[in-house]
Amino acid sequence: MTHSSRTAIAEGVLTPRILSRKNKRRMVKSCALLLAPLSVGLAACSGGSSGNSLASAPYDATDAVAVNADADSTDVDPDKPLEVTAQHGDTLTDVVATDASGRVVAGELSADGKRWHSTGSLAAGARYTLKVSTENDEGAPGRRSLRFGTKSASKHLKVKLGPDNGTYGVGQPLTAKLSRPIKGREQRELVERALRVKSSPHVEGAWHWVDSKELHYRPRSYWPAHATITLRSYLKGLKIRDGLYGGKAEPVRMKTGDRIEAITDASSLVMKVKKNGKTIRSIPVTTGKAGYETRNGVKVILTKEPYVRMTSASIGASDFYDLGVYWATRLTNSGEYVHGAPWSVGSQGVSNTSHGCTGMSSANAKWFFNHVRQGDIVQHINSAGEKMAPFGNGFGDWNLGWKKWRAGSAVHHGQPLGSGPADSARLRPQI
């Protein structure tokens, strides 16, 4: 029998889930009467020679139930199991412990119905309501209810959820950054299940552990345009491991705008900007020259910066430059941008001359800057450069196929997880 068993009483008819031997014999006899007219059945189930009607209100089982948590106490140790014991010949029929947010504590009832103990952990710093149902040796039902609180945790797992509230492009991943490393599969699964994502319209998605302190969440494909996404943490008070409990985290409310995709072909030297699947502008560009090839793959816009100073020293380039760059849209932590490059207008659409960035005329760069937002997609194809890393240099999350993405989820039990980001990018701008 489990803690979820119930004893239902309605219109004078008892439907037991946990019965003593004596009650089982009585029920075999009395239940046959339920086939008779209802008035007869009710009279027949009047409780036998004891005179206690099964339809009567449950008795106060306070003296019949012992609990290792005092009523109204606030210092119950969450590291110890909650225990409930029946006394004076009574039997436990149901035990339910629930915290203020509605989470039910898992538990186990002994075969004889005399003892129940929690198998799930209590939360730290939480308030609980315990409801116990019993049955005495005459078959009459009893009830006991009490409230108690647990001690606050000394160590918390803090969680910073991202991005900030606002409207983003359809490529923006959700993030969860943890204050302490989580390495064990069971601990990771607990954390992952407590980070809940809802989207309207609904789409399939999954978490992926970037390393022991960071998770990213994304759908199978990009978010729908004009979607509403909410991310909440339910870790507060949950036991992660001995001495470590989940802390509070502010929720994220994110919306998406139009589906904007900028696809840059490093071979034809043209960027096509699409809005909801329709090309709205074709822009001549120049990308990375030999030795500074632009990375291939899908990138997510990180920031928009009206002015950035870029120097050759920042990336160790052999040819000197020190330029003020306008209308700069950042794609990587290492300094790859889409930006205005008036000095290379003659090469745009003709040859690749940059140090890795995507250069275009000032007018086109301003138009691009004004038509995109953080989270929009910029994809480079047909470049001789390396592939954009999934992690460590901005958001390259979309460069992992769905099967590999799900393999990084503790809930979906994928392959062993890596210990750190795949790319240790330099935080330097490059033109």
Q: Which residues are catalytic?
A: 339, 357
In order of 5, 94, 108, 131, the CA distances from 134 in angstroms are 12, 7, 15, 10
Calpha distance 302→116 (Å, rounded) = 53
Tokens coding 305 = 């910066």
Helix (H) and strand (E) counts in the chain: 5, 30
DSSP string covering 226-267: T-EEEEEE--BT-EEETTEEE-----EEEEE-S-EEEEEETT
* Phi, psi torsion values for 224, nearest 5 degrees: -65, 150
Beta bridge partners of 133: 94, 143
CA distance 341 to 327: 9
* Sign of the four-CA dihedral 184, 187, 190, 194: negative
13: exposed, middle or buried (Cβ count in 10 Å: 0-12, 13-18, 19+): middle
Q: For residues 108 and 99, give the distance between their C-alpha atoms in angstroms, rounded to a whole number.
A: 18
* Residues sharing a CB contact under 8 Å with residue 126, sequence separation 6 or more, in sequence order: 78, 99, 100, 149, 150, 237
First-to-last alpha carbon distance for the chain, in angstroms, is 68
Contacts of 327 (CB under 8 A, 6+ apart): 306, 339, 340, 362, 365, 366, 368, 369
The whole-angstrom separation of Cα 50 and Cα 120 is: 39
> In the chain, what's the furthest Cα-to-Cα distance?
105
